Structure 1
Amino acid sequence: MLKLAIAGDLHGQWDHHDDAVMAQLAPDALLVVGDLADGDVRLPLRLRKLNVPVACVLGNHDAAKDSSGRTLGRMEQALGELHCGWGLRLLDPPGLAVVGGRPGSAGGGFRLSEAVKSHWGVMNLFDSANRIIKAALSAPAGIPLVMLSHAGPSGLGSAAADLCGKDWKPPACDWGDQDLQEAILRIRKQRPVPLVVFGHMHHRLRRGAGNRRTLHRDRQGTIYLNAACVPRHRECSENGPLRHFSWVEMDNNGTVLLASHRWYQPNGALVEEHILPLANSGPC
């Protein structure tokens, strides 16, 4: 069985307590969905020092408002082989293929920021989808495949509370990445995609409108998990500092057995857990 810890949008929130949680839990892999630290390379360098296999994709905030692309380039360089945007990160052990979606995405269908165009070049939706597909189909066939992206795919609903629903101003709409959806549809014609992990769309909705749905299972059995609990650091008068990680357990064939959102103490003690139902949740 594979045990995956997932860190939602960090926004600079990673410290020695997070290091301690990882040391205590020792998951088979840590997946990081991006928006690390607004261009501060110290955080990606810290992730590289963890004694846990890590895969990461950069988010839109990692450009730090630098349209030249130089900041994105420094962040990618600091992550080194951990970064899997448009690429394959083969974690063996434990025997897991992680394929990254389009790095630097801010959602909204298919839009390239000036920073992304400056650093990675101009492309269209299908160019981007083809990069993702090529990476996925290069993965060994005998191990589970996980898609890791900053923004989630389109097609998961258009209400504000859906996994990738726009909630900051009306009208609500589907704010997912169309190139990622296209890639998943085409990859599944050749191999299963059991799990898609992403962030960007924060769990807490704007203007006190509650919380969004964070898990969807479609008719083909793919699990989509939004891990963007922001902020992911919390101080508790009773339990002290708490750190949020989403958690997934899957068998070696890729079947997801458990998905939850968890709050941990630095000693690895589990303080809160919200277990997410895995039953089919809609027609997508």
Structure 2
Amino acid sequence: MAVSGGGKRLRIAIAGDLHGEWDHSDHALLDCLAPDALLVVGDLSDGQQRIPSLLRQLPMPVACILGNHDTGKDASGRTLQHQINLLGEVHCGWKLRALSPPDLAVVGGRPATAGGGFRLSRAALAAFGPVSLQESADRITAAAATAPPDWPLVLLSHSGPSGLGSDATSPCGRDWKPPACDWGDLDLALAIRQIRLNRPVPLVVFGHMHHALRRGQGDRQSFCRDRAGTSYLNTACVPRHGTDGAGQALRHFSWVELVGQEVVSASHRWFGLGGELLYEERLWTAPNPAPNPAPELAPC
């Protein structure tokens, strides 16, 4: 299965777990940065309506998956379903979100996951009914099968897949209580294996496991690649609104650039409100530079 690095360059901004930190300053910043698409990995809030409504208003290609906090601790599933209704076509749980332009296929994982292998919360059971591990993986796989084969495919999930390590510092490692273990989703890992039988999976984007580890254990590894060339990016920089030592307001986005079916760069970026790139943690740069160099980021 050949993986081509040819094609146009796509610039993707990714908002990690929001936990209520999303407002019109983010909209103004995105208008300034002008990425080709925005992906949102869930935990928008604790079930409030404000952020889903704001995301749906964005005048740009957007895909979003909901996380465990988006149930609002409402076991009836009504809060979760209301969030899905507010997002409308922006929500891609178990579905293909075909963004054209920029010709990007985004397939969502299991909505409202809290990681830990495979388990549906009471809210998810109420909203979706019983779903087995294999059924969930098959839904993701079937959605990917409907994506245009020449478009790059991104899997968007709240929790990442199992198989990325069992240390507390691993991209999906449990850090809040010992022993550390792999807290990734088994159904997502199975879906990745199934999808790869027919097409490449260049990028898997998720959050849930915050970058700063509990009890002062340090920082989480937020990026890795496997032998098949799939990049895995944990975007859960929490809080994503902040200030630096000089008092400058900061907004965090993870940033990925794709050329064809290949991730050519990935980083965590902290921007000022005027669009200036103030800090960057570079995670990956492809060893062979791709064509179509990225434009320079400049303040608005």
TM-score by length of 2: 0.91
For residue 46 of structure 1, the aligned residue among 49, 54, 60 is 54
Distance 2:237 2:138 in 1: 30
Matches within 5 A, 1:30-69: 30-69=38-77
For 1:274, the equivalent position in structure 2 comes to 281
Q: How far did residue 51 of structure 1 move? A: 1.8
Does residue 201 of structure 1 match 2:209? yes
Q: How far did residue 42 of structure 1 move? A: 1.3
What whole-Å deviation, never above 9, does each CA across 1:233-272 have from its counterpart, x for those lacking one? 0023535211000000111x12111100000011110000
Moved over 6 A (4+): none
For 1:176, the equivalent position in structure 2 comes to 184
Does residue 122 of structure 1 match 2:114? no
- Contact 1:249–1:259 under 8 Å retained in 2: yes
For 1:262, the equivalent position in structure 2 comes to 269
Query: Which structure 2 segments of 5+ residues have no match?
Result: 1-8, 288-300
- Contact 1:22–1:52 under 8 Å retained in 2: no
For 2:151, the equivalent position in structure 1 comes to 143
TM-score by length of 1: 0.96
Distance 1:179 1:25 in 2: 34
For 1:166, the equivalent position in structure 2 comes to 174
Q: How far did residue 277 of structure 1 move? A: 3.1
- Matched residue of 1:248: which SS? strand
For 2:296, the equivalent position in structure 1 comes to none
- Matched residue of 1:258: which SS? strand
Does residue 131 of structure 1 match 2:131? no
Distance 2:88 2:40 in 1: 14
Q: Which amino acid aligns with 1:16?
A: H
For 1:157, the equivalent position in structure 2 comes to 165
Query: Which structure 1 segments of 5+ residues have no match?
Result: none
Q: Which amino acid aligns with 1:198?
A: F
For 2:291, the equivalent position in structure 1 comes to none
Q: How far did residue 228 of structure 1 move? A: 0.2
- Matched residue of 2:94: which SS? coil
Q: How far did residue 142 of structure 1 move? A: 1.0
Q: CA RMSD in A?
A: 1.1
For residue 4 of structure 1, the aligned residue among 1, 6, 12 is 12
- Contact 1:10–1:232 under 8 Å retained in 2: yes
Q: How far did residue 48 of structure 1 move? A: 1.1
- Matched residue of 2:284: which SS? coil
For residue 88 of structure 2, the aligned residue among 62, 80, 86 is 80
- Contact 1:34–1:59 under 8 Å retained in 2: yes
- Contact 2:264–2:284 under 8 Å retained in 1: no
Q: Which amino acid aligns with 1:255?
A: E
Q: Which amino acid aligns with 2:74?
A: D
- Matched residue of 1:44: which SS? helix
- Contact 2:116–2:185 under 8 Å retained in 1: yes
